Amino acid sequence: MTTLDCDVLVIGGGIVGLSTAYALTRAAPGTRVTVLEKETGPARHQTGRNSGVIHSGIYYRPGSLKARFAVRGAAEMVKFCAEHGIAHEVTGKLIVATERSELPRLHGLIQRGRENGIPVRELGPAQIAEYEPRVRGLAAIHVGTTGVCDFGAVAARLARLAQDAGASVRYGAEVRTIGRRPSAVAVRTADGTVLRARALVNCAGLQCDRIARLAGDDPGMRIVPFRGEYYELVPDRAALVNGLVYPVPDPAFPFLGVHLTRGIDGGVHIGPNAVPALAREGYAWHTVRPTELAATLAFPGSWRIARRHWRYGAGELHRSLSKRAFTEAVRRLLPEVTADDLTAAPAGVRAQAVLRDGTLVDDFLISESPRVVHVLNAPSPAATASLPIGREVARRVLDTLRVG
């Protein structure tokens, strides 16, 4: 009989992987859980490189996993932060239409928000000024349940809670190979360590499709990385923005557009601009990994995205290469801002699942195969929704254990 090191191996120490480990220890005390994270600490990629927004769920199709988990997750995240002393604030946010062509989409968001059970308030120009005196728009909606927090601190706390309940979290443990038998799953890490478990959970984020293939599964998609580039307002201009201000998003593309976010540290993040990354973890233009880039270019879906969204992408690329162009995009919402008011801030990379036909996977995507659960698409608002996502993944893997 094969000797097992644990019941469940979780690959990935971002907020979703750690939430899953935490949920497993709560739902089935005594379940032996080991988390494997290739970095030297938690939340080093998507979780720790975003603007820290607790999303309300207003953008997402009613009934979708994103809608259900974001609405539930936002309330749970605020409660979790309060219970564990993690910096957070429920600020609310404005979604602002600056052109008449955006008004129908703004009204559609009002309807969608109400269908998702989210409190929204319609605003005219004078009411916009009550919230944000320096912001200009034709109309807006105020979303009361949006907030900000430190998701890196949330991930670290989830890791500690899971460890306190008996889970093991191993850093510097990059998974290189995965083997499967009818009764167990085994992984080998970069240092040669072999670990065997009854089930495996793939929460590898930017690497999730690669991990799925290592496990012998065809994920049916590929991660195409998009770098999100940010600026910050210089400290003496941070008073231009009181809270969170968003444009009306283009529903044809998964990004929300350049927006203004006052974080828990009082600084104002502006962005992101979204451009193709030249590596899975390509946080700058000079970070290029030829093997990863070649794989992205060889994927038919990448070219189909480019053909379908070339005009949108050209605008993003222009703003990436030109600070003046980026500033002009910001000035649509905040007319007083100048290029001198903006200073470069650290970038993030979004792990966007793409199908072979170029379709950008819109919802969270979780798939299963014998003894394995794969989380294959969990971009924003995954951090907001991480607690209910973790419970859902834990439920699925526990079902696998019962069957096995």
What's the rounded Cα separation, in Å, for the pair 21 and 168?
9
Task: Specify the pLDDT at position 3.
Answer: 87
Strands 372-377 and 194-202: parallel
Task: Specify the pLDDT at position 230.
Answer: 95
**CA-based nearest residue to 383, from 108, 86, 119:** 86
**Which domains are delineated in the chain?**
6-47+152-221+362-403 (3.50.50.60), 89-148+225-354 (3.30.9.10)
Task: Specify the pLDDT at position 256.
Answer: 77
Task: Specify the pLDDT at position 296.
Answer: 94
What's the rounded Cα separation, in Å, for the pair 252 and 303?
17
What's the rounded Cα separation, in Å, for the pair 99 and 235?
30
Task: Specify the pLDDT at position 340.
Answer: 97
Task: Specify the pLDDT at position 404.
Answer: 61
3-class secondary-structure state, position 133: coil
State which residues of the chain have pLDDT below 70: 1-2, 252, 254, 404
DSSP letter string over 201-241?
Answer: EE--GGGHHHHHHHTT---SSEEEEEEEEEEEE-GGGGGG-
